[in-house]
């Protein structure tokens, strides 16, 4: 038999389309040709495959070898096709037999010795195999992959994962001489460890705003001098959020798997990403010739912390506007397009002026009004309009630093947040921050006093229609934390606190 056909998987965003690997041996001068829109990494498979086959004791055929990766219009990248190409050559040359070849799919990068190295995206590939087989179908193809990639692949239920350490083990399995052992799923860690909110001294108002943000899924901007605790507060947001559902954990793990950064110890933990202010737009939102997820997608179902917000390039910050509204990001390149999830909670921090000491005791600040205006002007109005809460975080008083046991622990706050989120899920099936304008009109109606207060705030602060709806969403979250029964209009107290968190954006 001079033709072998195997199954593998490519990556296109979070999707993993099937790739047919066809290997044909023909008479003629010895050559090795790869076709099917391979990139440089795939083309280099010729040298890796040749060395791996020879070092495993097989003969590399001195014939005209053509390996086709179909479909031809789907770009192929990375070394995941090394294993199916090598197996195709051995099967087509008659060196091994594989009667059950079509019941398997193969991915794996080959070392020159024939060992298999881990590949990224195995979680997305397993999810695609399971989905295509159907929820009730137990006949999904067995997935042969490197041993290092097996733990994350096994997170998809109902999969037959066959890990291998080298090419020889896969050949022995296909020939029926020594079958690969299905991977036993290890117990995934379920206890997540986050910094405790009780470690933050003072800052009662900031802690309250952080609780409101966690309870409703709202974005938050903190402004204050250096050392006030803005970064400490932001780092504790994931610990206030409810535990991840299984679907959320799989989504987050799949994104990290695409980036090659997933670790089993991170399973079921809310992501916290804090990119440096020198990050480019592609690093933040994703990009590249072959689109990869950026920081906003790696923070999916978790928190994205942008410290020193005005120091980011303006174009980088403007790229956040779409994902803040929609929860996903579209990346378009000349030859590739990809969509990644980006449902994150934005937590940002900034100083009140370039030196950071505006309004501090002792007259430390020497910034002119023009310098302060230019510094704050780096943040555009449309971006600020998409942030739900903004508050000043003053320097911590000495008495607060010396106090012990100040404030609730994260576990206590998490219980209140969880109760508020449960109320929102029962009422509308989503967090308050995700409500549409039509849903706001149904679930966030103020009473007479609250409506009058909101009208005055709109006039005096010059708020936009988007700000109007965001105030109502935040007020609904405040009411949920106060256990206000569903159907009872929002009071003036709820509206007043929500407006207070909005005043900083209008100044």
Q: Do 21 and 85 meet the contact criterion of CB atoms below 8 Å apart?
A: yes
Question: What does residue 286 show for φ and ψ, rounded to 5 degrees?
Answer: 105, 160
Nearest to 207 by CA among 237, 180, 179, 184: 237
Distance in angstroms (rounded) separating the CA atoms of residues 107 and 128: 14
CB–CB of 24/65 below 8 Å?
A: yes
Report CA torsion sign: 145, 150, 152, 158.
positive
pLDDT for 162 beyond 90: yes
- Token readout for 224 is 């204050």
- 163: its two tokens: 């890990």
Share of the chain above pLDDT 70, in %: 96
Q: What is the pLDDT of residue 1?
A: 59
10 Å Cβ neighbour count for 111?
Answer: 16
Q: Where in the chain is the domain with CATH 3.40.50.300?
A: 197-425
pLDDT in tens, 263-294: 888 888 999 999 999 999 999 999 887 888 99
The total of other beta-carbon atoms located within 10 Å of residue 113's CB is 11
The label of the residue with tokens 């059950």 reads 100
Higher pLDDT, 86 or 2: 86
pLDDT score at 456: 93
The fold adopted by the segment(s) 3-175 is Ribosomal Protein S5; domain 2 (3.30.230)
Whole-angstrom CA distances from 317 to 226, 321, 351 are: 22, 8, 17
Mean pLDDT in the chain? 91
User: Cα dist. 189→118, 229, 265, 266, 459 in Å?
Assistant: 21, 30, 6, 8, 52
Residue-wise pLDDT for 99-150, tens only, equals 989 999 999 999 999 999 999 999 999 989 988 877 655 557 899 999 999 9
Token pair 């390149």 is found at 333
What integer pLDDT is reported at residue 138 of this predicted model?
55
pLDDT score of 413 more than 60: yes
Contact (CB, 8 A) for 77 and 42:
yes
Residues of the chain with CATH 3.30.230.10: 3-175
Residue 454 has pLDDT above 80, yes or no: yes
The strand pair at 337-341 and 328-332 is best described as antiparallel
Residue-wise pLDDT for 331-385, tens only, equals: 887 777 888 999 999 999 999 999 988 877 777 888 999 999 999 889 988 899 9
The CATH superfamily of 197-425 is P-loop containing nucleotide triphosphate hydrolases (3.40.50.300)
CB atoms within 10 A of CB 375: 19
**Residue 504's pLDDT is what?**
59
User: Cis ω on the peptide bond leading into residue 71 (within 30° of 0)?
Assistant: yes
Predicted local confidence at residue 381, as pLDDT: 87
Question: What is the model's pLDDT at position 313?
Answer: 93
Report pLDDT for 189: 58
- Given pLDDT bands bounded at 50, 70 and 90, which one contains residue 319? very high
Closest CA to 318 of 258, 273, 383: 383
* CA atoms 405, 407, 413, 415: torsion sign: positive
- Report the C-alpha dihedral over residues 66, 68, 72, 75, rounded to 10 degrees: -110
Mean pLDDT of 12-30: 93
What stretch of H or E contains 349?
strand 345-350
Q: Residue 328: helix, strand or coil by DSSP?
A: strand
Could you tell me where the beta strands, DSSP code E, fall in 77-182?
A: 104-106, 109-110, 116-117, 142-146, 161-164
pLDDT band at 398 (very low <50, low <70, confident <90, very high): confident
Q: What is the pTM of this model?
A: 0.89
pLDDT band at 186 (very low <50, low <70, confident <90, very high): low
Strands 389-392 and 220-223, bridge-based pairing: parallel
Q: What percent of the chain has pLDDT over 90?
A: 70
pLDDT at 260: 87
């Amino acid at each position: 038999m001079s033709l072998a056909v195997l199954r593998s998987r490519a990556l296109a965003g979070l999707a993993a389309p099937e790739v047919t690997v066809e290997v044909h041996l023909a008479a003629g001068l010895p050559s090795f040709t790869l076709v099917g829109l391979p990139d440089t990494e795939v083309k280099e498979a010729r040298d890796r495959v040749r060395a791996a086959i020879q070092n495993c004791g097989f003969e590399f055929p001195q014939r005209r070898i053509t390996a086709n990766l179909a479909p031809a219009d789907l770009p192929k990248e990375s070394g995941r096709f090394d294993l199916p190409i090598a197996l195709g050559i051995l099967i087509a040359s008659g060196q091994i037999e594989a009667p059950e070849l079509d019941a398997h799919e193969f991915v794996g990068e080959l070392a020159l010795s024939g060992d298999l190295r881990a590949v990224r995206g195995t979680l997305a590939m397993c999810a695609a195999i399971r989905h295509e087989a159907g929820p009730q179908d137990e006949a999904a193809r067995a997935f042969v992959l490197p041993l290092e990639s097996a733990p994350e692949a096994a997170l998809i239920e109902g999969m037959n994962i066959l890990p291998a350490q080298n090419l020889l083990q896969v050949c022995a399995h296909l020939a029926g001489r020594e079958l690969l052992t299905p991977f036993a799923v290890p117990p995934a860690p379920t206890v997540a460890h986050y910094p405790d909110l009780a470690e933050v001294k003072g800052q009662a108002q900031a802690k309250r705003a952080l609780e409101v943000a966690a309870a409703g899924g709202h974005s938050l901007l903190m402004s204050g001098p250096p050392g006030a605790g803005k970064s400490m507060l932001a780092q504790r947001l994931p610990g206030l959020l409810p535990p991840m559902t299984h679907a959320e954990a799989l989504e987050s793990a799949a994104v990290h798997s695409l980036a090659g950064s997933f670790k089993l110890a991170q399973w079921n933990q809310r992501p916290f990403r804090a990119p440096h202010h020198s990050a480019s737009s592609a690093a933040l939102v994703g990009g590249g010739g072959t689109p990869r997820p950026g920081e906003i997608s790696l923070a999916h179902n978790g928190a994205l912390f942008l410290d020193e917000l005005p120091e980011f390039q303006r174009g980088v910050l403007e790229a956040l506007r779409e994902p803040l509204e929609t929860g996903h990001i579209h990346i378009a390149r000349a030859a590739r397009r990809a969509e990644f999830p980006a449902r994150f909670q934005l937590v940002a921090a900034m100083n009140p002026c370039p030196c950071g000491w505006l309004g501090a005791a002792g007259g430390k600040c020497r910034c002119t009004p023009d310098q302060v205006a230019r510094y704050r002007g780096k943040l555009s109005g449309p971006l600020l309009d998409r942030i739900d809460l903004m508050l000043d975080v003053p320097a911590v008083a000495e008495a607060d630093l010396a106090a012990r046991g100040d404030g609730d622990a994260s576990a206590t706050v998490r219980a209140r947040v969880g109760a508020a989120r449960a109320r929102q899920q029962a009422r509308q099936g989503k967090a308050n921050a995700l409500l549409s304008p039509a849903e706001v009109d149904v679930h966030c109606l103020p009473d007479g006093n609250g409506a009058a207060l909101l009208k005055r705030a709109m006039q005096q602060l010059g708020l936009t229609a988007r700000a109007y709806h965001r105030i109502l969403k935040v007020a609904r979250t405040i009411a949920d934390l106060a256990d206000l029964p569903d159907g009872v209009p929002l009071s003036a107290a709820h509206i007043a606190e929500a407006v207070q968190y909005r005043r900083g954006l209008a100044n």
